[in-house]
Amino acid sequence: MSDETFSGYLDASATAPLRPEARTAMLAVWDAGPGNASSVHSFGHRARSVVDESRAALAAALGVRPGEIVFTSGGTEANNLALIGAALASPRGRHIVTTPLEHLSVLESCRFLERVHGFEVAFAPVNDRGRVTVGGVMSLVRPDTTLVSIGLANAEIGTVQPVAEIGAALDERFAGSGTAGGGRPLLHTDAVQAAASLPVSLGALGWPGAGVDLMSVASHKFGGPQGVGALVVCAGIPIEPLLHGGGQERGARSGTENVAGIAGFAAAVTALHREGVGTRAVALAASRDALVVRVADRVPGARLTGDPSERLPGHASFVIDSVSGESVLVALDASGFAVSSGSACAAGSDEPSPVLLAVGVPPELARTAIRFSLPAPLPVTLLDRLVEVVVREVGASVLPARSERE
Ligand SMILES: Cc1ncc(COP(=O)(O)O)c(C=O)c1O
């Protein structure tokens, strides 16, 4: 995205702006006419080619084989399929290890497995920056653990977890117990936030055959369309489908493929990789660091949440003592800056964020959360303007002292 097209949209963690390459790819599919990828006529063949080429492009970008990608309706479905589909298909026990910081699509899938299938779920402890330790996770892993699910990066506080190290520790603990799925607990990572802004190499995560076995990604965080995503499933791992029907996606996910969405998804990921995820991450981190320093300097009571270094490159989240986060958000919006109070799913809720509570932020302070997630590096003039507006609006949104409120 160029500086010229950049606006004050600073909520990329909720959804990233559509990349022009994704738009072009989708328009090409729609303009080409009808086509169901399962039809045997030439229209169907054309749609099938789009899906196959997109699958190959996505696989190349993620460093996996095309057959390891299951297209879904997004990150939520990918996480449900990973948790429920992989856990139910696994011959191991009924025990899951995860963290209290996971996205609701992971946590609610765990609750479903507890409620309906008698699973037990253990939550790894996190420190006040939202990091788990390898030891903390491994201390909960039992001989009958089915699945370990650790999100690669948290949407609200941006903290990145040591997933590769957890994979290596699982491999070591269960060395000699046979193949993944039978011999050792499966490792799933929700990479919906991380994969679009960190140079996520599945090779570095131990793929294939070791480390991570399942990874969730979502198109709209890469600048592709909403409503499409994928679960990457390492070859040989059985998955119990959640959607039953025509057997698309090699039986793992029935339903007519979202051909245009899949094309847009692959085009966005390919464009991002062409641009260079690592280079982009460095530029984003420089903008983020400048924003963090300036807010910390100029806004009394502002505190960065999450880990200061092990965090998403374009992500800066704060709590600000004695300020109404919601009022600041509304005022920033009126000044042309779209930010968030936390995860998009929690927006509109009066409840303090469970993620902030889990990292020890008191409920009152958790209600003051503000998250900036940059879709692109901030031009200096925009950063200057943003900081001025934040300083002004935070000043205007200071709550009366508690004694005056009661
Ligand atoms: C970490 C994480 N996982 C999963 C999801 C859900 O993805 P989707 O919006 O594609 O359903 C999100 C959405 O923001 C997320 O941040």
Q: Report the nearest atom of ligand 1 relative to the CA of 153.
A: 1
Level-2 CATH architecture, domain 20-275: 3-Layer(aba) Sandwich (3.40)
pLDDT of 1 reads 44
Q: What percent of the chain has pLDDT over 90?
A: 81
Strand partners, 338: 9
Which SS3 state, helix, strand or coil, does residue 151 take?
Answer: coil
Q: Distance (Å, rounded) from C-alpha 164 to C-alpha 205?
A: 5
Alpha-carbon distances, residue 180 vs 92, 117, 168, 286, 403 (angstroms): 10, 22, 13, 39, 58
Indicate if ligand 1 lies below 6 Å from the C-beta of 105.
yes
Ligand 1 mean position, distance from CA 397 (Å): 30
Indicate if ligand 1 lies below 6 Å from the C-beta of 224.
no
Smallest CA-to-CA distance from 370 within 337, 332, 342 is with 342
**Residue 291 φ/ψ, nearest 5 degrees:** -65, -45
Q: Are the C-beta atoms of residues 79 and 190 closer than 8 Å to each other?
A: yes
Q: Distance (Å, rounded) from C-alpha 112 to C-alpha 146?
A: 15
Q: Which residue's alpha carbon is nearest to atom 7 within ligand 1?
A: 75
Q: Distance (Å, rounded) from C-alpha 357 to C-alpha 363?
A: 7
Indicate if ligand 1 lies below 6 Å from the C-beta of 225.
no
Q: Where are the domains of the chain?
A: 3-15+276-405, 20-275
Which SS3 state, helix, strand or coil, does residue 130 take?
Answer: coil
pLDDT for 11 beyond 90: yes
Name the residue with higher pLDDT: 300 or 406: 300
pLDDT of 322 reads 87
Q: Distance (Å, rounded) from C-alpha 62 to C-alpha 372?
A: 26
Q: Distance (Å, rounded) from C-alpha 86 to C-alpha 169?
A: 20
Ligand 1 mutation pick, 103, 106, 340, 343, max ligand atoms within 8 A of CB? 103
Q: Report the nearest atom of ligand 1 relative to the CA of 14.
A: 14
pLDDT for 368 beyond 50: yes
The one-letter code for the residue type at 97 is: V
Ligand 1 mean position, distance from CA 344 (Å): 9
Same fold, 3-15+276-405 and 20-275: no
Q: Report the nearest atom of ligand 1 relative to the CA of 154.
A: 1
Report the CATH fold assignment for 3-15+276-405. Aspartate Aminotransferase, domain 1 (3.90.1150)
pLDDT for 374 beyond 70: yes
The one-letter code for the residue type at 19 is: R
Cα torsion angle, 55, 57, 61, 66, sign: positive
Give burial (CB, 10 Å; 0-12/13-18/19+) of 33.
Answer: exposed
Q: Which residue's alpha carbon is nearest to atom 14 within ligand 1?
A: 14
Indicate if ligand 1 lies below 6 Å from the C-beta of 190.
yes
DSSP codes, 67-105:
GGEEEESSHHHHHHIIIIIIHHH-SS-SEEEE-TTS-HH
Ligand 1 mean position, distance from CA 12 (Å): 12
Ligand 1 mean position, distance from CA 261 (Å): 16
Mean pLDDT of the chain: 91
Least confident of 10-24, 207-221, 285-299, 373-387: 207-221
Ligand 1 mutation pick, 81, 105, 198, max ligand atoms within 8 A of CB? 105
- Binning pLDDT at 50, 70 and 90, where does residue 325 land? confident
Sheet holding 315-320, edge to edge: 302-304, 315-320, 370-373
Q: Which residue's alpha carbon is nearest to atom 15 within ligand 1?
A: 192
pLDDT of 5 reads 45
Ligand 1 mean position, distance from CA 226 (Å): 10
Residue from 28, 344, 345, 383 carrying the catalytic annotation: 345
pLDDT of 58 reads 96
Neighbouring C-alpha atoms within 13 Å toward the C-beta of 97: 24
- Binning pLDDT at 50, 70 and 90, where does residue 396 land? confident
Indicate if ligand 1 lies below 6 Å from the C-beta of 155.
yes
Least confident of 92-101, 145-154, 181-190, 242-251: 181-190
CB contact burial 297-312 (16+ within 10 A = b; e otherwise): eebeebebbbbeeebb
- Tens of pLDDT, residue by residue over 88-137, are 999 899 999 999 999 999 999 999 999 999 999 999 999 999 999 999 99
pLDDT of 4 reads 42
Alpha-carbon distances, residue 278 vs 120, 221, 281, 298 (angstroms): 38, 16, 5, 30
Ligand 1 mutation pick, 104, 193, 219, 340, max ligand atoms within 8 A of CB? 193
110 is catalytic: no
pLDDT of 202 reads 66
pLDDT of 326 reads 86
Q: Which residue's alpha carbon is nearest to atom 8 within ligand 1?
A: 75
- Tens of pLDDT, residue by residue over 44-98, are 999 999 999 999 999 999 989 999 999 999 999 999 999 999 999 998 999 999 9
Q: What percent of the chain has pLDDT over 70?
A: 91
User: Please, what is the Cα angle at 120 between 76 and 349, to 5 degrees?
Assistant: 45
Q: At what angle do helices 259-275 and 42-62 cross, to 10 degrees?
A: 30
Indicate if ligand 1 lies below 6 Å from the C-beta of 160.
no
**Residue 159 φ/ψ, nearest 5 degrees:** -65, 135
Ligand 1 mean position, distance from CA 14 (Å): 8
